Structures are given as structure tokens and as C-alpha cells.
Amino acid sequence: MLEYFNAHCHFLTASAFVPDNVGAVNNSAKISEWDFVIESAQQSQNIYGAIGIHPWYIDNLPDNWDVLLQDKLLAYPDLTVGEIGLDNKYANMDAQIDVFMRQIVIANALKRGVHIHCVGAWDKIVPILRNQEYTDIPFILFHRFNGVISDWLGMEKVYFSYSPARSLKRVAETPQNRLLLETDSENVIDIVQWTNRVADECKISKNVFVNNAQRMLGNG
Ligand SMILES: [Zn+2]
């Protein structure tokens, strides 16, 4: 039975050891990672795969990258879209927006949830993700969330995920039914220690994180 859920990690291999009581979303950052993310998700019902192009890796994409993404998503109906987003610390925001928007359109058309990386670009992300054109995206997970919680309270499909780098005060301020925890690393099972710390210090039941993840992913 699941006791812990790592809402955002990067295994970096197809066969990381994940105990039966830990669930995870394994995210890719670039095309070369998609296949082992898919393989990892096929090895356990507790592992979910997300494929996409991270804003740090938009250079030198093949011309048909969006067709490749769409074809993989069509071939694997359980996959979601991530890690995608905008990062103001990296160059070429116009190109980042183009790659991001094409992935949002695909996610909406195929009704897949999205795993979002946003650094210093909330002024751009907020209007895109609040746009009524994209209401078929079933969930939005903000990983390492550092935006304004109240911007999103009206959208029930938005979840906020925090890594151990985040202050517990911020975690405690987040509505419990939208709260997720992550390691954002290849150390999937470090989520156990992080979850136990949050549960103890914020007085939150550990079940909250598993329940939220399962609801988000459509299994709750
Ligand atoms: Zn990540």
C-alpha cells in the first residue's frame, strides 16, 4: 500500500529501486529521456511517467519534436506532460514560450495533465494557464512552487509541490487538499524523510500526500 508519494523526480535510469510503499512521477527534461521514463512507468503501477521538453533544453530540437511528443503520448495513454515551463534565468524567452505553448496545446488536445517549472516568469505563465482555451488539461502541478498561492485557489485542478529546499512555513500555508511533496532529484526514496518531517512539524497526516496525488492522477 502506498504511504509516500514523490510528486516530481527524475530517476535518470529505467530501473531505479522504488519500494512498494512509495509512488512517484518520473519526469523527463529532454527527448533522450522519454523512453526510459516510459519504461520506468511500465515497471510498476506506482510509477507515473511524464514526458516533455524542459525550458533549459530547447536548443537544437529536431523540427518535428512536437510530432514526436504527440505520437508518444498517443501511444501511451497514461503518460502526462512534463517537465515543461518557463525560466527567466535562461536565455531566449521567446523560444521558451513557443516550445511551452506547443506542449500546452498538445496536453489540452490529448487531455493530459502538466508538470510545470516556473522561475521568474509568473507574469507569463499565469495568463497562459488561466486561459479558457486550455480547460481540457485535467491537472496542473507546479513543481518547486514559488508563485502566489491565491492566484490559483479558484482553479481546483492546480496542485502545489514542494521540495526539501522550501520553508515549512510555506508548506503549512498551502491548502492541504492541493499539497504535494517532491525531491526533484534521482533519489526517489528521499521523499520518505521529507514527508515524515512535514507530517511531524506541520501536523499533516501522511495520507494527505498520497490521496492528493491519486486524485490528481485520476485514481483517487
Ligand atoms: Zn524537475
Q: List the chain domain ranges.
A: 4-216
- For the domain made up of 4-216, the CATH class stated in words is alpha beta
* Ion ligand 1: residues, Cβ under 5 Å: 83, 184
Cell of 9: 523526480
Residues contacting residue 66 through CB under 8 Å, at least 6 positions apart: 102, 103, 106
Count of C-beta atoms within a 10 Å radius of residue 53:
26
What value does the mean pLDDT take over residues 5-17? 85
- Ligand 1 centroid distance, CA of 207 (Å): 23
Cβ atoms of 88 and 119 closer than 8 Å: yes
Amino acid letter for position 188:
V
What does the DSSP assignment read for 8-19? EE--SSTT----
* Per-residue pLDDT tens over the stretch 79-138: 999 999 999 999 899 999 999 999 999 999 999 999 999 999 999 999 999 998 999 999
- Ligand 1 centroid distance, CA of 2 (Å): 22
Instruction: Identify which of 157, 132, 160 has the alpha carbon closest to the alpha carbon of residue 146.
Output: 160
Separation of alpha carbons 212 and 216, rounded Å: 6
Higher pLDDT, 187 or 168: 168
- Ligand 1 centroid distance, CA of 9 (Å): 6
- Ligand 1 centroid distance, CA of 53 (Å): 11
How far is the first Cα of the chain from the last one, in angstroms, to the nearest whole number?
Answer: 14
- Ligand 1 centroid distance, CA of 54 (Å): 8
